[in-house]
Copies of this chain bind each other. A is one copy, B any other.
Amino acid sequence: MLSDKLAKQIDFIKEIDKVKYIQRKTKLFNSDRNENDAEHSWHLALMALILTEHSNERIDILKVIKMVLIHDIVEIDAGDTFIYDSQKNHSNTDEERLAAQRIFGLLPQEQRDELIAIWEEFEAGESPEAKFARSMDRLEPLLQNISNNGGTWNEFGVNYDKVYEKKQIIKEGSETLWNFAEGLINDSVEKGILKKDKS
């Protein structure tokens, strides 16, 4: 006998399978194959676990993991927005809010409320957990682009200033990881895989 609650949970579990089809612009490490949102979210969860000690502030790591596991689920309805897309704001669109209502709304009320709150907290980027989660979200594609000789920077003509501006958010989550990332960005200019000129 399937309880109403379990039925809702199973519906949600089936629905989120679609996250595996959402292609990001960024490619896997040393690869020309696009990463999808499920792979990306799995990687961020493990990064958060491994890099916890570098957080600027004390964090509830379970909350950070929940954030990164669910942060892209809204893209089932809203699609992936490229971080360097100047036409469209990367986050917090009305479309994404509607998507959160629909998809997390498949769950029993209490879980729905918890996951929407966690997603909104991630989007707001103000709590220690959200800051650390967002620094993971910025660090992974930086490492990927470097492994791919510039990756999306070259592909979409993104210059140093833009990369530096977008990646600075890492600093809010972790000064240590920002120092590391800043070094990588500067090295990328020296290596010629990131351009200083205006794009």
With contacts A13-B143, A39-B42 known, is A49 near B69, CB below 8 A?
yes
With contacts A42-B41, A42-B45 known, is A176 near B6, CB below 8 A?
yes
Measured between beta carbons, the chain B residues less than 8 angstroms from A13 are 43, 46-47, 50-51, 143
Indicate if the CB atoms of B69 and A42 lie closer than 8 Å.
yes
Residue of B nearest to A139 (CB): B13
| Chain-B contact segment, one of A14-22, A80-88, A126-134, A157-165 | A14-22
Indicate if the CB atoms of B12 and A50 lie closer than 8 Å.
yes
| Chain-B contact segment, one of A60-68, A90-98, A190-198 | A60-68
A28 partner, pick from B6, B17, B51, beta carbons under 8 A: B17
Indicate if the CB atoms of A69 and B46 lie closer than 8 Å.
yes
A2 partner, pick from B9, B12, B183, beta carbons under 8 A: B183
Residue of B nearest to A13 (CB): B47
**In the bound complex, how far is the Cα of B143 from the Cα of A12, in angstroms?**
12
Q: Chain B CB within 10 Å — which of A12, A19, A45 has the most?
A: A45
**In the bound complex, how far is the Cα of B38 from the Cα of A136, in angstroms?**
17
**In the bound complex, how far is the Cα of B20 from the Cα of A45, in angstroms?**
14
Measured between beta carbons, the chain B residues less than 8 angstroms from A70 are 46
**In the bound complex, how far is the Cα of B114 from the Cα of A50, in angstroms?**
11
The 10 closest A-B pairs by CB, nearest first: A42-B42, A17-B29, A38-B39, A38-B42, A20-B39, A62-B62, A9-B50, A41-B42, A46-B69, A13-B47
